[in-house]
């Protein structure tokens, strides 16, 4: 059996941190909003239906972890996704969830047929 290298351990830690960062529904909603274009906090607030302080707090966390970047345009701060591949990972997870839900539904239906 291959022994883990120190770099492997660091990557596992970073992976776990990234997953923790993506484990909050609000952060996922924010990333979803930034999927197509850069947006201001106000635009994100309007799209996700949460308060400005809540959105700003989560944007700050995403920025601190390097998933989101910001740039000033006039008086506005525009936010964007720093690594678009993260959206591909989120899409794959969503696909798995839909498959699981479909399987669960089929199991429920089979159970009802036998009742």
Q: Supply the pLDDT for residue 60.
A: 95
The two tokens of residue 80 are 């964007």
51 neighbors 27 (Cβ within 8 angstroms): no
Q: Supply the pLDDT for residue 114.
A: 61
Q: Which of 99, 71, 90, 72 is nearest to 30 (CA)?
A: 90
Model confidence, pTM: 0.79
Where is pLDDT greater, at 48 or 3? 48
87 neighbors 31 (Cβ within 8 angstroms): yes
Q: What are the CA-CA distances from residue 98 to residues 21, 22, 47 (Å)?
A: 22, 18, 23
70-113 pLDDT, tens digit per residue, is: 999 999 999 999 999 999 998 999 999 999 999 888 888 887 76
Class at the top of the CATH hierarchy for domain 24-83 = mainly alpha
């Amino acid at each position: 059996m291959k022994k883990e290298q120190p770099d492997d351990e660091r990557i596992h830690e970073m992976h776990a941190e990234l997953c923790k960062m993506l484990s909050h529904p609000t952060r996922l909603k924010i990333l979803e909003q930034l999927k197509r274009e850069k947006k201001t906090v106000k635009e994100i607030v309007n799209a996700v239906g949460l308060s400005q302080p809540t959105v700003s707090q989560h944007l700050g966390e995403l920025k601190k972890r390097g998933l989101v970047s910001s740039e000033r345009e006039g008086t506005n701060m525009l936010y964007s996704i720093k690594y678009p591949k993260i959206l591909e990972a989120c899409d794959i997870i969503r696909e798995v969830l839909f498959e699981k839900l479909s399987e669960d539904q089929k199991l429920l239906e089979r159970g009802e047929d036998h009742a």
